[in-house]
Amino acid sequence: MNIPALRGSRITGFGHHQPDRILTNDELSTMVDTNDEWITTRTGIRTRHIAGPDDSVTSMATEAARNALADAGVAPTDVDLVVVASTTHRDRSPYTAGRVAAALGMTNGPAPVDINTACSGFEYAMAIADQAIRTAAADTAVVIGSETLSRIADWTDRSTCVLVGDGAGAAVLQATDEPQIGPVSWGSVPHLQDAVRVTHDPEIFQQEGRSIYRWAITEAEGHARAVVERAGLALDDIGVFAFHQANLRIIEPLVTALGGEGKYVVRDVVESGNTSAASVPLGLSKAWHRGELPEGVPALLFGFGGGFAHAGQVVTTPVRRH
């Protein structure tokens, strides 16, 4: 039996894509009984991007991956694993990951993997790709979160429709002898299994906001600390906090509880809304390409939501090639 030498993975590039249409709170107030003050006070959200007729989970995932590969300086044919996290896949087969690979000209036939753990999907996908690289099942992977939540929203329910947005974020992972992605800490909360739901016939997104908020402000901190401990680090070592972009009223108290004042905090929820599995990579990539994301520092990724699943890992942010 061939046992691979100790190795790990590192992030070498980020990419993202969002639909052109931007829906403001003021425009929402003409569609449902709400207003800008009500939305921003309760969620922090001011705008969100909404998929148009030509936008899909696959098309946005493809563009995000294309941009990430360009950022990393990696050719599509060098990729041997594509993992797509989404809860809004339209088709069960062919896989979204396979379609992304074909669209990008990955003629070498990389392994395609679709997963659905909703809002923690990107962190699960990262773990799968990292573990594949650690065991030499892959050398280069593209990990993507892509969602079209607007297509499963109830636009008559102001408690949920004001939250959702569409978009995709991606990261390129490559093998390294100096691992820069820590071990995943993941799990679920059985008694909250139905707190976030996407039902079928009709296909619609629903959630129990109070239950989620209560868990987030009482339990999420402990799970986030466990992620850092598994990486063998202390909270003082963390330079970036990237949590699922569900609600600014959840993100801010969580950052405070973890002593994150003065550190870089991803707050993309303000302009993108809740994009489920896309939210963490979308926020990271936008910050990276704006030149805001610190280079070469430990970043705490932590996602939670539908299922009710949670997952996180500490990763080292990339260093710019030029």
Residues with catalytic function: 119, 244, 274
Question: How, if at all, do strands 81-85 and 111-115 pair?
Answer: parallel
Beta strand 298-305 with 166-176: parallel, antiparallel or unpaired? unpaired
Structure token pair of residue 242: 């990237």
Among residues 252, 245, 300, the alpha carbon closest in space to that of 126 is found at 300
Tell me, what DSSP letter sits at residue 69? H
Query: Does an H or E element contain 290, and which?
Result: none
**Distance, first Cα to last Cα, the chain:** 41
State phi, psi for 47 to the nearest 5 degrees.
-140, 165
Q: Which of 278, 217, 215 is nearest to 250 (CA)?
A: 217
The C-alpha R_g of the chain, in whole angstroms, comes to 18
Q: Which helix (H) or strand (E) holds 73?
A: none
Q: What sign for the dihedral angle of Cα 55, 280, 125, 120? A: negative
Backbone angles phi, psi at 280, to 5 degrees: -70, -50
- Outline where the chain has alpha helix (H): 25-28, 36-43, 57-72, 96-103, 121-134, 158-161, 209-218, 220-230, 248-257, 269-272, 279-289
Q: How far apart are CA 66 and CA 60, in angstroms?
A: 10
Q: State the sign of the Cα–Cα–Cα–Cα dihedral 19, 22, 27, 33.
A: positive
